[in-house]
Amino acid sequence: MALCQNIGYENMRMPNLLGHESPAEAVQQSASWLPLLARECHPDARVFLCSLFAPICLDRFISPCKSLCESVRDSCAPIMNCYGYPWPEILRCDQYPEDHLMCISSITNSTVQPGRRRVPQASCRDCELEESTTTKETLETFCRNDFVVKLRLVRYKSSPASLSHFSLAGKFDVLKHGPQLVGQIRSRIELWLERDATCVRNMTRRHSQGGTFLVTGIVQGERLVVNKAYFWHKRDKHLIAAARRWKHYQCKT
């Protein structure tokens, strides 16, 4: 189950808390939540969903706490609404126990540790194509992000069983990558392309057959979170100039 990989346990109870009778059914239904996780709308979204789709195999079910549900819902429901999906009735939060009872509560610390950046909150505009403003502002955008990649997307002639209808093709130019991505940038971008269908759909809305794009974003654990995307064309002189000057540009500390 891709939704719950590396969640911390390997055995789950069936039927699960959503009434799925078999692992195959749970895996199939859980796949529709992968794009939401890719939007990074809440740090506990995976824990909440996996407690329902793949509850840990103990003598009794351990439900998510009401407060965990409310926290994830309040942060993620606006993102779902961006794409026309309301928070489902089957996940209404009042059915889950209060924190003082036996349940799964939030596991993340709301405070940011020194030296660590807070992940930008996902929004409806994430991955919408943008026009570069000035060369300097574009360069500063490069500075603020962990990676900057120029890539070409092509639409599958016949869509396979994947969440995205696009694949990487041809030359792949890495303008910037952090130490976390040495030797891994292309494979991690391919994983982003597979999992973050909503982001890719935003990028390609006006370019249904694909094209060349420049994307920027941050590294969050094993994930790449794309937060800006530009369509690469000769008329965008600021973007081309920024890419040309980047190698020798000095970011402000």
Q: Tell me if residue 192 falls in helix, strand or coil.
A: helix
Asked whether residue 90 falls in the same domain as residue 148, the answer is no
Asked whether residue 12 falls in the same domain as residue 79, the answer is yes
Is the bond leading into 23 cis (omega within 30 degrees of zero)? no
Residue 130 counted as domain residue: no
Residue 114 counted as domain residue: no
Asked whether residue 139 falls in the same domain as residue 62, the answer is no
Number of folded domains in the chain?
A: 2
Write out the H or E segment, with its range, that includes residue 153. strand 147-155
Q: Residue 127: what pLDDT?
A: 76
pLDDT digits (tens, 9 = 90+) for 122-159: 566 667 788 888 999 999 999 999 999 999 999 876 54
Asked whether residue 81 falls in the same domain as residue 186, the answer is no
Question: Residue 85 CB: number of other CB atoms within 10 A?
Answer: 13
**How many angstroms separate the CA atoms of 58 and 79, rounded?**
33
Q: Residue 123: what pLDDT?
A: 61
Q: Would the CA dihedral through 85, 98, 119, 30 be positive or negative?
A: negative
Report residue 12: phi and psi, to 5°.
Answer: -125, 160
Residue 85: domain span? 2-95
Domain end call among 65, 95, 125: 95
Asked whether residue 88 falls in the same domain as residue 157, the answer is no
**How many angstroms separate the CA atoms of 7 and 226, rounded?**
23
Q: Residue 160: what pLDDT?
A: 45
Asked whether residue 234 falls in the same domain as residue 166, the answer is yes
Q: Residue 176: what pLDDT?
A: 92
Indicate the DSSP class of residue 93.
Answer: G
Nearest to 65, CA basis, from 97, 113, 95, 26: 97
CATH number at residue 59: 1.10.2000.10
Asked whether residue 146 falls in the same domain as residue 81, the answer is no
CATH number at residue 190: 2.40.50
Residue 110 counted as domain residue: no
Domain end call among 95, 117, 152: 95
Residue 198 one-letter amino acid:
T
Domain end call among 95, 118, 148: 95
pLDDT along the chain (253 residues), means of 10: 88 93 92 83 92 93 93 86 82 92 77 40 70 91 93 73 69 85 83 76 84 89 82 92 94 80
